[in-house]
Amino acid sequence: MTDELQQLWQSAPPDKEKIDMEALKRRGSKLRTTVRARNALESAAAAVALWLLGAQAYAALGAGDVPSALGAALLMAGLLVVVGVLWKQGSNLRAPGLDAPTSEQIAFHRRALTRQRDLLRAVPRWYLGPLVPGLVVLLVVGTLRFPLGEGISYPTLARALLLAGHLALVALVFAGITWLNARAARKLDAEIAALDAA
């Protein structure tokens, strides 16, 4: 083989028929199963949280505690946004038929991976962001009502430190959630890159 022919062969586009289609279908099936399970679990957790928050808001309103009811209502609204985005942007795409050409199967799998990767990357915006207003209101209300011990010289400072501690804890949990989802997005990125390189 001449150098010119060898360079032409090496620069030729990859033969998509050489991709192990059975392995690709297995990975695609696993991804769809994972997405369905995640969406179902997140939705079930949101349903329980909505029921509990609704009961809290109802009880707070009955007791004339408008700030607590407002915080619970804001958190409920945030949860509804989260579930809506999860199902609209994070649900499975319709898979092509079994008789679809190889190129269509590969393109579909890449789109599915990209969709889930983008959703994971945006977790701070669509998953955590909508929860912040309700959490802040509930934390402020709870901190203002928290009983301080006898003889505290600076009660305002004590409450400010308590609120700062609660907010720092929430920020730490949110940072952990963001990191875990970013790590999962990087794994999907690697799979997309491997698919592109095949």
Q: Is pLDDT at 3 greater than 70 in this prediction?
A: no
Residue 151 lies in a domain: yes
Gyration radius of the chain's alpha carbons: 25
Residue 73 lies in a domain: yes
Give the pLDDT band (50/70/90) at residue 53: very high
Residue 15 lies in a domain: no
| pTM recorded for the entire structure | 0.81
Q: Which residue has the higher pLDDT, 97 or 12?
A: 97
Residue 189 lies in a domain: yes
pLDDT digits (tens, 9 = 90+) for 99-148: 788 888 889 999 999 999 999 999 999 999 999 999 999 999 999 887 77
Domain count within the chain = 1
Residue 10 lies in a domain: no
**What was the pLDDT predicted at 158?**
85
Residue 11 lies in a domain: no
Residue 122 lies in a domain: yes
Residue 92, classed as helix, strand or coil, is: coil
Residue 119, classed as helix, strand or coil, is: helix
Residues of the chain with pLDDT > 70: what percent? 88
pLDDT digits (tens, 9 = 90+) for 151-190: 677 778 888 999 999 999 999 999 999 999 999 999 999 9
Q: Name the residue range of residue 123's domain.
A: 21-197
Give the HSE-up count for residue 129: Cα atoms under 13 Å, Cβ half-sphere.
7
Alpha-carbon distance of 16 to 35, in angstroms, equals 26
**What was the pLDDT predicted at 15?**
47
The pLDDT of 79-90, averaged and rounded, is 95
Give the pLDDT band (50/70/90) at residue 18: low
The pLDDT of 46-59, averaged and rounded, is 97
Residue 173 lies in a domain: yes
Give the pLDDT band (50/70/90) at residue 82: very high
